[in-house]
Amino acid sequence: MKVTLVVSTSSVAPGGHVDLTLAIVNAGAAPIPLYFSGDLTLGVEVRDDKGSRLAPPSGNAPKNADARCAQVDCRLPESHVVLAPGAKAHATLGWDATRKAWPATGPTTCCTYHVDAVASGPLPDGTYHVKVPLPYETNHGNPADPEIAIRVGK
């Protein structure tokens, strides 16, 4: 299995936007099942050159304040797909060169699995390491999460 991450541009202005394309290719001769569970949203982890994590922000995302939501059985989704030999799965996601913070309030519906961090200002000039954590497991071994360096500067 081959996993690649391609960026639309390797440099961006502070606060600017780039598109990331994730591709997973079954380069082998046998089908590969991919098992997904939990939050199925693709996101990024971002670290600066010193290794400090910038996104997602440290701490926990806000929870729903509605006490009734604690009583609701929210099962995390599960699914799987099988990549035939030569098959390709791909996704495009965006990344903004901004600092991130958790929103002040949590989701407004029970069983919301994903809370997006919000922009809290442009990133300073520098090189940032953007990684896409892969939300699946396979019985053929799990590849490393793909990562790419992006230069932020004027």
Question: Which has the minimum average pLDDT: 24-28, 62-66, 86-90, 134-138?
Answer: 134-138
Closest CA relative to residue 135, chosen from 108, 150, 114 = 114
pLDDT tens figures, 14-67 = 999 999 999 999 999 999 888 887 777 788 999 999 999 999 998 888 988 888
CATH class of segment(s) 2-152:
mainly beta
Percentage of the chain beyond pLDDT 90 is: 57
**Are 94 and 116 a contacting pair, CB within 8 Å?**
no
Percentage of the chain beyond pLDDT 70 is: 99
